[in-house]
C-alpha cells in the first residue's frame, strides 16, 4: 500500500512539478498583491483581495485533490482578479487623490495592478488549456 502511494504521481512527475511551481507562484504573487493594497492604504480593496485569495486557496486545494471542476473554478477566480484589476484602473484609480501620505506613491498603482492583470490572465489561460496542468490535476498532488 505504501509503495502505491509513494509512486502514485511518478508517471506524471514533470506535470506535477510544473503545476506545483504555478501554485507556489500564485500563492506568493497573490500575497504580494494583498500587501501592496495594504501599503497603499486602500483597505476596502485589501479586504476584497483577502476574500479573493481565500477563495483561490480553496479552489486550489480542491484542484490538488483531483476535483476536475476546481481547475476551471481556479481559472475563473484568476479571471475575476483580472476583472477587478481592470475596474480598479479605470474607475477607482482616477478618483484617488495623490496628496495623501501613504507608504507607496500613488503613481506606482497602475504599474503593479497592470502587471497583476497580465499575470492572472496568463495564469487563467494556463489553468484552462495547458495539458500538463490538466494531467497533474487528474493525478492529484501536494505542494511539497
The structure's pTM equals 0.87
- Expressed as residue numbers, the domain containing 86 is 14-139
Q: Say if residues 127 and 61 touch (Cβ distance below 8 Å).
A: no
Residue 24 lies in a domain: yes
Query: How many structural domains is the chain composed of?
Result: 1
Residue 77 lies in a domain: yes
Residue 35 lies in a domain: yes
What is the secondary structure of 45-67 as a DSSP string? HHHHHHHHHHHHHHHHHHHHTT-
Distance, C-alpha 71 to centroid of its chain: 12
Measure Cα distances from 133 to 82, 105, 123 in Å: 20, 38, 11
Place of cell 475563473: 76
> What is the per-residue pLDDT across 60-110, written as a single tens digit (0 to 9) for each?
999 999 999 999 999 999 999 999 999 999 999 999 887 666 788 888 999
Amino acid at each position: 500500500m505504501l509503495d502505491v502511494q509513494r509512486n502514485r504521481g511518478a508517471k506524471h512527475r514533470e506535470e506535477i512539478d510544473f503545476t506545483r511551481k504555478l501554485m507556489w507562484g500564485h500563492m506568493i504573487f497573490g500575497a504580494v498583491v494583498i500587501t501592496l493594497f495594504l501599503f497603499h492604504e486602500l483597505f476596502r480593496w485589501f479586504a476584497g483581495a483577502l476574500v479573493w485569495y481565500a477563495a483561490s486557496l480553496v479552489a486550489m486545494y480542491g484542484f490538488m485533490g483531483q476535483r476536475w471542476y476546481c481547475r476551471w473554478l481556479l481559472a475563473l477566480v484568476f479571471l475575476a482578479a483580472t476583472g477587478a484589476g481592470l475596474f480598479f484602473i479605470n474607475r477607482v484609480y482616477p478618483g484617488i487623490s495623490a496628496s495623501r501620505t501613504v507608504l507607496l506613491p500613488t503613481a506606482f498603482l497602475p504599474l503593479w495592478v497592470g502587471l497583476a492583470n497580465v499575470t492572472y490572465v496568463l495564469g487563467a489561460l494556463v489553468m484552462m488549456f495547458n495539458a500538463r496542468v490538466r494531467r497533474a490535476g487528474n493525478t492529484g498532488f501536494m505542494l511539497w
